[in-house]
Every structure is written in structure tokens, then in C-alpha cells.
Structure 1
């Protein structure tokens, strides 16, 4: 454990924080206090945004021998002031972009969430829950870098598993317009769908959109946020699952880095420290599905195993030991499609695979996939894909 070196006088440390940022800001501050309360001889001065004049406060502090800064929020005023007047003051930036402080030399450190591990963890968790027909990401409206990093890692992780990720690109700062666009986007996703929102408050907006669109959670849409803000996560129905970054450790590491800068003086090199997540908190928005969801998974497994035969809806229901009416109702509730739609979609997926990877004739493929004849399959394929089987093979086949 790192401890502070005793000094002849207490260090004057300014902590710049935006308390309106919610639980993340409070937990970062808690980590800083934890370090100081362990016996560190610092005097802390909090600069709370947006209420205080940041530039004026920092300028006044410099005249009174401020020894160091811990900055936990972004501000153009702050970046300009730091570059112009505070280059020599040791400073640690917690979850702040590097490019805002390019003018600073040594005696600088950056501590931040490993946002890529956040996105990757959410993707791995959702993928482990079952067979979703779609995965999606809902970013921060302002497109901030941490949101982009989370999205990129979320996408990469799922694409390695052969999944496609759809991003909601229609965000608006006008709440009514944002809600309307999100509802429209949700309706385009095949169900069941699994979604990640960039942070918990954005996830509560996704919950509202799902309610407006009439989608049940988690039956039709599973959703996870980031930050584990218990007040937000439990304020909606169903309660939100959330990736839990270790913000307290971030604050602690920020103080550790400032102590390092104090001890090494002008020998202290500029460096960057990443803080990984502490886990995932599972709540109702992603809880494993009810018996109905398990019934659907068994039905799809049976369809996939018998996709080459002349499979009928009654065959599926009989295999599961339930009535056709019940099974049809569950398919519509959970997947938003009929059993026949599902059988057809699985058959066409096999047709595409055979067209892409073999040179078998359309007639042979029709027989192998349980279609009555090649003409029926040809017309159906063209209607569903917009291409003839020959044109599809020419475009996507392995020899294309």
C-alpha cells in the first residue's frame, strides 16, 4: 500500500469535481478521502462545478502556493488556464481526456476507467445469457470518448462471436425527440434483443422507450447500464443490471499518483494508469428468462436439428409436449414472430450457407432444406432477399 511521505508542512491540494456527475463523482471523491485519511498530510480544497468560478479559483490558489491538483471533470476554461499558468503544478486528471492537457509536460498523471474492459465485460455477460436475435448499443448523446471506447469494445467482443451489433445513432438532446427516435429504433430490432447503454441514466431512458414501444423486459429486451448507481438502477421497473466500475479505487489511485509526483519532483514522468471494473451487478433487467424463454430455446434447438426435414408446427409442439396454441403465443410474446416464421428463417439461413460454401444446384439445396421444390424456394428466396439464388451466390459465394 502506498503511503504519503511526511513533509515539513501540509500540502495544499485542490480537488476539482462536478458533483452533478452523480455516483461516479462521489465515489472518486470517497477514494481520495480514503487515501488522505490514512495519514496523508494534505489540506484539501474542493472546487465544485458548476457553481464555482474555476479559472478564478485556480488563479487565486496559485498565488497562495497550491501544491497540487486532482481534476475529475473536463472544462475548456480549466484546460486553457492550466496550459497558460499552472504548468509546473503537479496535477492528476481522473477520467479526463489527455488532449485537453497536451501543453503540460512532466509532473502529470492520468487515471481513468478502462472503458474497453467495461464494454467487453458487458458484451460477454449478455452473450452468456442465451440466444438473442440482436445486440445493440445506446451511446452517450454527446458522443464522448469514453462512450465510444465502450461501444468499440462491446462491438469487437460480440463480433468475435459472430454477432452483429447495431448502434442507436439517432440520439437528440431534446427529450421528446430522443424518445421518439429510440422507440422507432427499438422496433427495428429482432427480438429478443440484448442492449448495453453507455451509462445508467441513459439506460433508464432505454427503459422508458421500451415501455412506450410495448416491449417487455427482460423477455423481449435485456438491458445493462454502467456505474451501478443504485438510486437510478432501482428507480425503474424492472431494476437495471449494471457494470460496476471501481470509482473509489480510481480516486485512491489519483491520490497515489499525486503523492508520487510530490515525492519525485521534477523527475516525475508523465504517465497513464487504468482502473478495471470491479464486477457486474445483476438485477431484473437481465435476469435469466422465465420458463417460457426456456421453452422457446428448446423449440429453436429442435427446429435447428430438424431443419432439413419437412418440419411442421405441430411437430415442434408435440416434441415439447405443449399445445400449438400455447407455443404460438409464447413465440409471439418473446420473439415477435410465428413458429412458421422461425422455421422458414432457419431454413433460409441454411440455404444461404450452402449457396456460399458449396456448388450444389438449387434443386439439391431445396431438397436438403425441406422445401417442396426448387421453383418454390427460388421465388421465396428472391422475395425475402431481393436477389435470385444465382445472384446471391455470385455476390457472396466463396468464389465470388
Structure 2
């Protein structure tokens, strides 16, 4: 039997989910797309005409509640919210973990002054809470909320900065590491820094969230961002809808939370944004040779520098040894491959320079708190309604 499923969401969100929803077409899910930005009267009429067997919708304030009211009784999955609705399954990103990823990346880069730029949405507060919880008690920390983005389309960048925001940004102790709770806010922040004559990332390092290629790649400088495994999220939604329309009863008492898959470093925040040329050369060497069986001695020989000098500089700026930094870089790459590919742990250990699954498991558990196999299983479990 062919099941007709209405998808009511923005073009941005649809673009994220399409690759992982497409396989469900072969399992007789026939999708009908409606823009969530249509007037509610139009959505009511069109959904009434479609009479879908199931509904997948994005969460937007007020709009989502209205859509649910119009379509009571239809199996429904809401994407990108941890709000609970009776009989409706919510699938969301773990926003606290998103904030933690950003903070941990900044901490590894040696920053001591931190800030968050929020937009007042519920996920914004959660991401900021996660970020702050990951900081040490000694870290300087500031928060600013900039409104107005709720009236802008996701891909547009016409929001003008408030005078309060400009004052806040100018007064932050530099260099400062700022987490913008989503990519358009990160792009906005980079633009305001340019207007105020602040150098990114030398004075202001910026990490956004969602890792939207269209936003990150078209921002100057290109925007670093916390990566969301949209494929995992989309597959979770598709599988849940498949079970819904097949007549299964799902546990909708709590949301399915999908953890982020690390930070993608681009020009707006990276380990190379340091004044010391030796540290820049060392970090470039480590980053470019992750897959090779290198060690600190190899690096010192090729850069023609004294090992004690390099280790002292790493301790002063990054608060770790060069070897610890290499392990962190390799584990970050391994996390992404575990989530985004079906590669075996043995192959991933080779691709990340460990060359031995047992060795990778030891380092991975020391830094992440669990072995690679458990980390991957956690993502797999998150996909299972």
C-alpha cells in the first residue's frame, strides 16, 4: 500500500532531510511538500485536499501548534524540537551537546575569554547552557541576545545590529571566542566584526552551529560550525513515519535527541589563529599529517625545532602537549567518521593515523569517556524509535 505523507517545512530544512528521506520512497512513502511559510488558511485547505496518511513538520512558534490542531489523529513527527505533544513524536538535535562541542573546541585552542550570542529561541538557551557548563570556573564569560532573526528567512542576512550589541562586542576582552547559536547568527557576527574593524579570528574567533554549507561557505571569513548529523536525524524521522503509517504504536513520551558530530573548523576559528609562527607551523603539520604514523619527534625533525621549545609553547597556549593535541585532532576526525560513514573501526583507525583499532579505542575512551563502538551504537540507538 502506498502511504502519502505530507511534509510541511521550510526549504532549508527540507534540503537537509531529503537525502535521508529518499530511501523511504522505495518503502512506499509518497511525499507531498508544502511550505511552512504559507498562510495557515492555505495550509488548512491544501492538507484537507491531500488527506495524508502521515505528517512530517518543522517546529515554528505558533505555526506548529496550529498545524497540529488542524490535523489531529494523523500520525505526526515534528522535527527540530524537544517540545512534547500528545501522540506526536518529536525528533531534535541535542542542543546542550551542541554548546558543549563549541566550548570544548575553543578550550582546546587555548582561549581564556568566551562569549555566546543567542537569538532568544528555546534551542538558543539550551545551546548556551551547554556551552557555559563546559567552561572552567576561571574563564571569562558573557552573553548577549540579539533579536530580529525570527522575522528573517534563514538564508537571508539583512538584520541590522543593535547599538547594544555593538557596544557589547566592542567591550569584550580580546582575543575572545564567541559561540553563535546558529550559522546565520555566526555570519551576522562576522559581518559586524568587519564593520567595527575587529579581526576574525585573530581578535574574535567565531563558531556557529548547524554546519550549513550555503551559509558557512559564503561567509567571510568562512564560518566554523558545529556539525549536525542531518542524515541521522532524517533517517530517524523516516523510520518513525514508516512505523507509524504501518500501524505501530510508538513511544512519544520523550523526544529523540540526536547528538552533534563535532566541529568543522574553517577560517573563522581554528588552531592556526595564533601570533606565534612556530605554533602555526606545528599545527599545520599536525593537521595535514593526521593520517600518517607521525609523532612529536618526527614533527620537530621536519620543522627543525627543539622539542622542549615546542612543548613549552603548546603548554602555554593550548594547555596541552603536542602529542595530546595530535590525539585530540585524530579523535575529532574519528568521531565524524563514526557518525557519518559505515567504515569499520579498523579502517577509521587507519584514516585517522592510529593504524590500530585497539590503540584508537584506548585514546578515544580517554578523551571521550567511551570506546568508539559504544559511541557509534549511541547514534544508532538514537535513530531507533
Whether TM exceeds 0.5 here: the answer is: yes
Q: Which residue of structure 1 aligns with residue 21 of structure 2?
A: 32
SS at match of 1:47: strand
Quote the Cα distance in structure 1 between the aligned partners of 2:16 and 2:159: 31
Q: Which residue of structure 2 aligns with residue 41 of structure 1?
A: 28
Compared CA separation, residues 206 and 64, structure 1 to 2 (3 A)? closer
Contact kept in structure 1, 2:186 and 2:208, CA below 8 Å:
yes
> Offset at 1:183?
2.4
Q: Which residue of structure 2 aligns with residue 269 of structure 1?
A: 251
> Offset at 1:46?
0.6
| Alignment partner of 1:156 is 2:144 | no
Compared CA separation, residues 264 and 189, structure 1 to 2 (3 A)? same
Quote the Cα distance in structure 2 between the aligned partners of 1:115 and 1:269: 21
C-alpha distance after superposition, 1:197-256 (max 9, x if no partner):
011111111111211222212111111111212222232332111111112221211111
2:101 is matched with which residue: 121, 134, 141? 121
Q: Which residue of structure 2 aligns with residue 79 of structure 1?
A: 65
SS at match of 2:161: helix
> For this pair of structures, how many residues does the alignment match?
273
Q: Which residue of structure 1 aligns with residue 56 of structure 2?
A: 70
Bigger Cα Rg: 1
Quote the Cα distance in structure 2 between the aligned partners of 1:64 and 1:231: 32
> Offset at 1:97?
5.3
> Offset at 1:63?
6.1
| Alignment partner of 1:234 is 2:212 | no
SS at match of 1:135: strand
Instruction: Give the TM-score of the pair, scaled to structure 2.
Output: 0.64
Gaps of 5+ in 1: 1-8, 298-319, 321-400
Contact kept in structure 1, 2:29 and 2:242, CA below 8 Å:
no
SS at match of 2:195: helix
1:204 is matched with which residue: 182, 187, 210? 187
| Alignment partner of 1:135 is 2:110 | no
Quote the Cα distance in structure 2 between the aligned partners of 1:91 and 1:126: 38
Q: Which residue of structure 2 aligns with residue 166 of structure 1?
A: 142
Contact kept in structure 1, 2:187 and 2:215, CA below 8 Å:
yes
Q: Which residue of structure 2 aligns with residue 340 of structure 1?
A: none
Quote the Cα distance in structure 2 between the aligned partners of 1:29 and 1:192: 40
Contact kept in structure 1, 2:118 and 2:146, CA below 8 Å:
no
Quote the Cα distance in structure 2 between the aligned partners of 1:212 and 1:63: 50
Q: Which residue of structure 2 aligns with residue 301 of structure 1?
A: none
SS at match of 2:68: helix
Compared CA separation, residues 237 and 81, structure 1 to 2 (3 A)? closer
Q: Which residue of structure 2 aligns with residue 15 of structure 1?
A: 7
SS at match of 1:31: helix
Contact kept in structure 1, 2:5 and 2:31, CA below 8 Å:
yes
RMSD of aligned C-alpha atoms? Answer: 2.8
Contact kept in structure 1, 2:146 and 2:162, CA below 8 Å:
no
Quote the Cα distance in structure 1 between the aligned partners of 2:215 and 2:134: 27
Contact kept in structure 1, 2:111 and 2:176, CA below 8 Å:
no
Quote the Cα distance in structure 2 between the aligned partners of 1:226 and 1:137: 12
> Offset at 1:294?
6.7
Quote the Cα distance in structure 2 between the aligned partners of 1:156 and 1:205: 25
Quote the Cα distance in structure 1 between the aligned partners of 2:76 and 2:159: 41
Gaps of 5+ in 2: 152-157, 281-308, 310-385
| Alignment partner of 1:255 is 2:238 | yes
1:110 is matched with which residue: 80, 90, 112? 90
> Offset at 1:161?
4.9
Quote the Cα distance in structure 2 between the aligned partners of 1:231 and 1:253: 24
